[in-house]
Chains A and B, each alone.
Chain A
Amino acid sequence: MSNRISERVADFLGRFPPFNEFTSRDLEALALEVDIVYKEKSSFIFKQGEKVHSSFYVVHKGAVELRHSNDGSIIDICDEGDIFGLRPLVAGEDYKLQAQAREESILYAIPIAVFRPYIQSYEEVGNFLLESFASNTRNPYSKEHSGKLQLTVTDNPVTSGINTSYTAVIPLEPKKKIIRCEPQTQIREVAELMTHHSVGSVLVMNGDIAVGIITDKDLRNQVATGKFPIDAAAENIMSSPLITYPSTLTISQAQLAMMKNDISHLILTEDGTPDSPVKGMLSKYDVLLALGNNPEVLMRAIKRTRKIKRIVPIRKRVVQLLQGYLQNNFPMSLTTRLISELNDACIKQVIALSLKKEGPPPVPFSWLSLGSQGRGEQLLHTDQDNAILFADVPKKELPAVSNYFKNLAERINRGLRTIGYEYCPADMMASNPAWCQSLGAWKTRVTEWISNPGKEEVLLSSIFFDYNHTYGDPTLVRELSDHIFKTAESYPMFYTHLAAGALQNPSPTGFFRQFLVEQDGKHKDFFDLKHRALMPLTDAARVLILSHHIKSINGTAARFEKLAELEPNNREFFLSCSYATKALLKFRTKQGLLHGDSGRFIALDNLSKEEKIKLKRTFKTISELQELLTIRFKGATLLL
């Protein structure tokens, strides 16, 4: 059943996730139930605290802004194809934000009752929604709802990982010094102490035992009002007796305690009674911090898993965390490192669990992550690129040993796929015998690549030389790295070939600084961010850093930073390269989160003007970098 208008709506919706996953039949059935809503500029679609509508909205034309009404802060601006107002519907709560038409807008209102069945029937739709809901989890309270959502959406018990943080014991930071004073200390000194340490509270202590607490509020209520002079003793104005808790408090207990007593600080003592020594103090802020997706909690959760399947929900939270970092403009280098650590931990856990099944290895081995994973730049799920390197064995043992590692690799590759890493289309994976070899065999192979580099060899080495030891025996890897540099020294032409490889990807802007978009294929008219912008940077960083004989640094941005250090006269330039890398990586990740893919292909139409300008700025750096390569590795262009 459809009519002309529903066909129109279906055509539109089908261009955007998650509707692009729908079969045309389902999409038309859905479109028929849609209401078309016209909103004049600055009219409200819903207000904060309003009861939820029965529909959520997709912007067809115009733009809608979502704001917190208390402080007016803009949370998001939705334009063509963006969905809003869905999360409260699924979670069954009132609107937490207000939605207002930023310009004259046409919206499609999609009834949740009609949409809900598709969340169940299309896995991708559920995933998309989870990832996009994560985008609204700016404030830690909404964690709660994303947890709820997961239950409603997937109806599956694997969600236990989600609530770890609620039951987790809050990690106390022992280093965090407690600012303290004596009961007799003068109030002025107390105030000075607080200012000096920029804290809002001071514990009043008698030896190891806390007897009271003074907060900003006490200074305001008891001193500034003139009740006590500033030279009075601290004990006069402190709050006491103290409410104390044992230091093994869980987050929800801490929250409850604060709520129940209407206090913002909890004193933790050895056995929880006021008479035992103080172990630490917990403020509301600490609780919020722990409540938000906390990498430590996630890390522990990963390490505790006993089944590969159990890692999947945890990785979902990693994506949420990533989203939060990006939104809060967390430094990109820190974000990359944290997320890579977590991804790394997931991979390690998969390997550890696989090893347990496969039995102990006959000889030491090393699991290498290659490509973007090796460079620690893999923020979202992308393909697997990996290899196994095992210790040399006598020839007659080789078949059995190879066989063991092949089975292990297959198990691990499968496991990685389960947790969201797609198989490598080019089969550069450890389960491929060519990528699962002994140290000796690897040495022979890279010598071959270096001494006789053709196009294929350069491609292989460019992927391989970003390897990073992930699991097993690191000495094997070190030996291989040493071998690579020794060999490269005798074949300087190799660097020229690598440089030629780096120049193969043309700079991203063409004439008139237009974006070069893909000419044909599935991604026609899309801008290939990976190929056109990130790869030239990555490739250039690799050849430059390798030519300085440095193997320990794998990240592209970090490589440029090292280069800035090594070549002071090019410092500014390499720092700008590092900056461009980070900016592009962030861009790709954001796009990926937005569209639920790897973020590689970007539809230029969907970019704001500001985003386009930002992108173009990085391109200038890229073309300058390519010029530098051309000059430094003379002859590189001849090999193109």
Chain B
Amino acid sequence: MLSRFWEKPLPEGIAADLQAVSFVVLDTETTGFDPERDRILSLGLLKIKGTRIAINQGVELFLEQEHFDRQSVPIHGILKEGRHKRVPEAEAMALLDTYCKDAILVGHHLGFDLSMIYRARKRNELPELRNPALDTEKLYRKSLIKSPVLKKKEHYSLDELAKAYDLNCKDRHTALGDAYITAMAFLHILNRLQSKKDLSTRQLLQLGQISSF
């Protein structure tokens, strides 16, 4: 009784049953790590519902660039005038509203992606995304066995997750490629977390939610 009294209601549109929840896995490639100065180069989005990923709903957008940081090119391979068709930042940011409607956002080190998105949306006079957000690093840490012998690391990279779950790292460091690896890792982690008993949406959020911007 008491605990129920304390709980916040789930955000509108988010089902209590985990099987019915839509997740949007999100990844951005950026020119750098400074949310103020750097820009989003590309945005990868994937939908998961009921442990199922629909490939044709996968989206990868390449954004038009004004600011360009030569140093990060070797990592993500996106040149200012690449072979990809580009969309204006405003368009990409507006798409997020429809794509992520009623979904929980999922990403690896998602806080960073969200801060980049927050700035980008602000520049285009769009309100912040209100979706609940889950960080796969946080969830992964929770899924590990608690033992004084096993010392958990401070940080877990996406590469480490991929290695742990034997995921193919093809297309690593592309927005959609990373989104895919994150999505697969997320499904594996979800399975580990539920090995004892099924989680409710609320319980999952308690384990891995990060504050959105």
Chain B residues near A39 (CB-CB < 8 A): 51
Closest B residue, CB atoms, query A34: B55
| Interface flag for B171 (CB, 8 Å) | yes
Give the residue among A5, A33, A61 with the most B Cβ atoms within 10 A.
A5
**B76 → A minimal CB distance (Å):** 13
| Interface flag for B60 (CB, 8 Å) | yes
Report yes or no: A3 in contact with B52, Cβ–Cβ below 8 A: no
- A38-B187, A40-B191 known; A4-B52 Cβ under 8 A: no
| Interface flag for B58 (CB, 8 Å) | yes
Report yes or no: A9 in contact with B188, Cβ–Cβ below 8 A: no
| Interface flag for B35 (CB, 8 Å) | no
Chain B residues near A4 (CB-CB < 8 A): 58, 60, 171, 174, 176-177, 180
Report yes or no: B170 in contact with A8, Cβ–Cβ below 8 A: yes
Closest B residue, CB atoms, query A9: B55
Provide the A24-54 mask, 1 if CB < 8 A to any CB of B, else 0: 0000000111111111100000000000000
CA distance A246 to B107 in the complex (A): 74
| Interface flag for B53 (CB, 8 Å) | yes
CA distance A141 to B200 in the complex (A): 44
**A637 → B minimal CB distance (Å):** 47
| Interface flag for B2 (CB, 8 Å) | no
Chain A residues near B174 (CB-CB < 8 A): 4
Closest A residue, CB atoms, query B177: A4
CA distance A6 to B54 in the complex (A): 10
Closest A residue, CB atoms, query B51: A38
- A3-B60, A4-B60, A5-B58 known; A36-B52 Cβ under 8 A: yes
Report yes or no: A36 in contact with B176, Cβ–Cβ below 8 A: no
| Interface flag for B184 (CB, 8 Å) | yes
Provide the B72-91 mask, 1 if CB < 8 A to any CB of A, else 0: 00000000000000000000
> Which of A5, A11, A40, A106 is the one whose CB lies under 8 Å from B55?
A5
Chain B residues near A104 (CB-CB < 8 A): 188, 191
| Interface flag for A416 (CB, 8 Å) | no
| Interface flag for B3 (CB, 8 Å) | no
| Interface flag for A109 (CB, 8 Å) | yes
| Interface flag for B56 (CB, 8 Å) | yes
Size of the B side of the interface (Cβ < 8 Å), in residues, is: 23
Report yes or no: A33 in contact with B53, Cβ–Cβ below 8 A: no
Report yes or no: A36 in contact with B53, Cβ–Cβ below 8 A: yes
> Which of B53, B171, B191 is the one whose CB lies under 8 Å from A35?
B53
Report yes or no: A5 in contact with B52, Cβ–Cβ below 8 A: no
- A4-B180, A8-B171 known; A36-B55 Cβ under 8 A: yes
Report yes or no: A38 in contact with B191, Cβ–Cβ below 8 A: yes
Give the dominant DSSP class at B's interface: mixed
Closest A residue, CB atoms, query B186: A38
Q: How large is the interface on A (under 10, 10 to 19, 20 to 34, 35 or more residues)?
A: 20 to 34
Give the dominant DSSP class at A's interface: mixed
Report yes or no: B54 in contact with A35, Cβ–Cβ below 8 A: yes
Chain B residues near A37 (CB-CB < 8 A): 51-53
**B91 → A minimal CB distance (Å):** 18
Chain B residues near A106 (CB-CB < 8 A): 184
Chain B residues near A32 (CB-CB < 8 A): 55-56
In chain B between 175 and 194, which residues have their CB closer than 8 angstroms to a CB of chain A?
176-177, 180, 184, 187-188, 191, 194
| Interface flag for B147 (CB, 8 Å) | no
Closest B residue, CB atoms, query A1: B56
Give the residue among B56, B60, B191 with the most A Cβ atoms within 10 A.
B56
| Interface flag for B98 (CB, 8 Å) | no
Report yes or no: B176 in contact with A3, Cβ–Cβ below 8 A: yes
Give the residue among B53, B171, B177 with the most A Cβ atoms within 10 A.
B53
| Interface flag for B71 (CB, 8 Å) | no
In chain B between 35 and 79, which residues have their CB closer than 8 angstroms to a CB of chain A?
46, 51-56, 58-60
**B45 → A minimal CB distance (Å):** 11
> Which of B51, B58, B184, B187 is the one whose CB lies under 8 Å from A3?
B58
CA distance A34 to B54 in the complex (A): 7
**B192 → A minimal CB distance (Å):** 9
Closest B residue, CB atoms, query A108: B55
Closest B residue, CB atoms, query A61: B166
CA distance A40 to B54 in the complex (A): 18
**A280 → B minimal CB distance (Å):** 56
**B58 → A minimal CB distance (Å):** 5
> Which of B46, B55, B177, B184 is the one whose CB lies under 8 Å from A38?
B184
CA distance A39 to B194 in the complex (A): 13
Report yes or no: A33 in contact with B56, Cβ–Cβ below 8 A: yes
**A604 → B minimal CB distance (Å):** 20
**A597 → B minimal CB distance (Å):** 27
CA distance A39 to B174 in the complex (A): 26
**A173 → B minimal CB distance (Å):** 54
CA distance A38 to B180 in the complex (A): 13
In chain A between 167 and 209, which residues have their CB closer than 8 angstroms to a CB of chain B?
none
Provide the B144-185 mask, 1 if CB < 8 A to any CB of A, else 0: 000000000000000000000010101100101100100010
**B196 → A minimal CB distance (Å):** 13
Chain A residues near B188 (CB-CB < 8 A): 38, 104
Chain B residues near A31 (CB-CB < 8 A): 55
Chain A residues near B194 (CB-CB < 8 A): 40
CA distance A11 to B55 in the complex (A): 14
**A31 → B minimal CB distance (Å):** 7
CA distance A11 to B187 in the complex (A): 22
Provide the A1-26 mask, 1 if CB < 8 A to any CB of B, else 0: 00111101101000000000000000
Chain B residues near A109 (CB-CB < 8 A): 52
CA distance A19 to B161 in the complex (A): 30
**B42 → A minimal CB distance (Å):** 11
Chain B residues near A9 (CB-CB < 8 A): 55
CA distance A3 to B56 in the complex (A): 8
Report yes or no: A8 in contact with B52, Cβ–Cβ below 8 A: no
CA distance A234 to B50 in the complex (A): 64
Chain A residues near B170 (CB-CB < 8 A): 8, 11
CA distance A35 to B54 in the complex (A): 4
- A32-B55, A35-B55, A36-B55 known; A5-B187 Cβ under 8 A: no
Chain B residues near A8 (CB-CB < 8 A): 168, 170-171, 180
Report yes or no: A5 in contact with B191, Cβ–Cβ below 8 A: no
CA distance A8 to B180 in the complex (A): 10
Chain A residues near B168 (CB-CB < 8 A): 8
A-B contact pairs, 23 of them (CB 8 A): A3-B55, A3-B58, A4-B174, A4-B177, A4-B180, A5-B58, A5-B176, A5-B180, A6-B55, A8-B171, A8-B180, A9-B55, A32-B56, A33-B55, A33-B56, A35-B54, A36-B53, A38-B51, A38-B184, A38-B188, A38-B191, A40-B51, A104-B188
Extra contacts, 8 of them, besides A3-B60, A38-B184, A39-B51 (Cβ < 8 A), are A4-B60, A4-B171, A5-B53, A5-B176, A8-B168, A31-B55, A104-B188, A104-B191
Interface set of A (CB-CB < 8 Å, partner B): 3-6, 8-9, 11, 31-40, 61, 104, 106, 109
Interface set of B (CB-CB < 8 Å, partner A): 46, 51-56, 58-60, 166, 168, 170-171, 174, 176-177, 180, 184, 187-188, 191, 194
